[in-house]
Structure 1
Amino acid sequence: MIKRCNLFGNENIGVFGWSCDDYCLVGSGIEKKNRLILEEILKVPIYEVNISQAKIVHTLSIGNKKGILAPRTIRDDELDILKKICGVATRIPHELTAIGNHILCNDNGAIFNPEYNSTIRKIIEDTLDIEAVPYNILKNEPGLVGTHAICNNKGVLIHSEADEEKLKEVSDILKVKADFGTLNLGYYPGAGGIVNSNGGVVGNETTGPEIMHLGITLGLND
């Protein structure tokens, strides 16, 4: 099932949270009605947190059922909270602190901004317990793989300006089916929704056809 809602008055709800099949992280202070929507649709525990004292949780972190990746700027107390949620949470020691913009992952694999070096690659792989591949989805916006796509363990929806070769490669790395698409009538699927294998929540500007296509691609219409 997929439902619409805005978070903090913004349709780009994917900036404020992300989910895997075991838990969901979202910026602290969301309205109760929206928390209930997330609980209903994603069917996992919802944790309201801050990353580097900010509510833009998906911009600044990403993870899967095995672990969470956070920026070097995260406070020690915030990192401790993430470790209590998932068990494993690791800082990325790099100046590219918008982790969620630069890494796309599920429980099967990950792609990441090629500006991250081999040391960062090992941190990603060890924390998430998956293979990680340096990758660009769009040549004119290199590295922003976390905004150019949205995925779960069933599928991945990719920026509509990517090409067929990229579609196949991302599908192979994440080990899921893939298709092009948009959310919120925009080009950045990663900013438009919060999804896992149980369901999805998307911004209020997302159209009916966009919701239907997301559901088909990510296997959420079952």
Structure 2
Amino acid sequence: MRLSRVSGTFNIGVNAVANESLAFVTPDADGQFLRDLQEALGVETVTVTVGGAHVVGSLLAMNSNGIAVSGQVEGDELELIRKHLPVIRLPDELNAAGNNILVNDSGAIVNPDTSDRTLKQISKVFGVEAVRGTVAGINTVGSLCACNNKGCVCPTDATPEEIQMIKDVLRVDVQTSSVNHGSKYLGAGIVANTKGALIGDETTPIEMGRIEDGLALF
């Protein structure tokens, strides 16, 4: 686990997303950030845009089985992504996949405004049960939480019922924390898998300890 930043920001989870073997990364990433991902998470890095936008962590969600991407994705971008895993384009207005989906290899929690049709597509591409839910009463569950296949960290104002839902659906233990010196948007500040994590470089030592415990990176 190490501190990092990309594109001049500590919100690294907005600019990259990873599973156990692969990370999609903003074209703005410098060599140091790419090395951080490769070394800390043990992944191959692929530079991509989504609809011409560089915030790939907000627009793309994935696990080891598949990828969900914003419906704004362009044909050449989609072809590049599809070379690595099966992919679906989200048809809903709620198509910022990384913000609206919290997923690991056991389950997915999605924005409660997601349509029935899209919920089924998400479940199919990820190969897991997908359920609607909130975290801290907020619909953009992917931006609020960070998870891997061993644990999850979510904001301190998540309710006991929301925490239990995460435990049940993702089949992991849950720790509460903040990131980047008090931000509740852990998904925006962390890129993680079961091998390691990158964390925004404004994160305090206390936050780092809670995140390390929550993601079981020890």
Please indicate the TM-score interval, normalised by the length of the shorter structure.
over 0.9
Question: What secondary structure sits across from 2:179 in the alignment?
Answer: coil
Is 1:158 the counterpart of 2:172? The answer is no
Given residue 7 of structure 2, which amino acid in structure 1 is its aligned partner? F
CA deviation map 1:65-102 (0-9, x unaligned): 1111011110011011111022x011011111211111
Deviation at 1:190, TM superposition (A): 0.6
Match of 2:8 in 1: 9
Deviation at 1:158, TM superposition (A): 0.8
Task: Give runs of aligned pairs for residues 33-48 of structure 1, distance below 5 A.
Answer: 33-48=32-47
Task: Give runs of aligned pairs for residues 1-222 of structure 1, distance below 5 A.
Answer: 2-86=1-85, 88-139=86-137, 141=138, 143-185=139-181, 186-221=183-218
CA distance in 2 between counterparts of 1:147 and 1:33 reads 24
Q: Tell me if the contact between 2:196 and 2:217 (Cα under 8 Å) persists in the aligned partners.
A: yes
CA distance in 1 between counterparts of 2:51 and 2:140 reads 20
CA distance in 2 between counterparts of 1:203 and 1:73 reads 27
Gaps of 5+ in 1: none
CA deviation map 1:154-177 (0-9, x unaligned): 001011111222111111110011
Q: Tell me if the contact between 2:3 and 2:199 (Cα under 8 Å) persists in the aligned partners.
A: yes
Gaps of 5+ in 2: none
CA distance in 1 between counterparts of 2:12 and 2:32 reads 14
Deviation at 1:29, TM superposition (A): 3.2
Output the aligned Cα RMSD.
0.9
Deviating beyond 3 angstroms after TM superposition, the runs of 4 or more aligned structure 1 residues are none
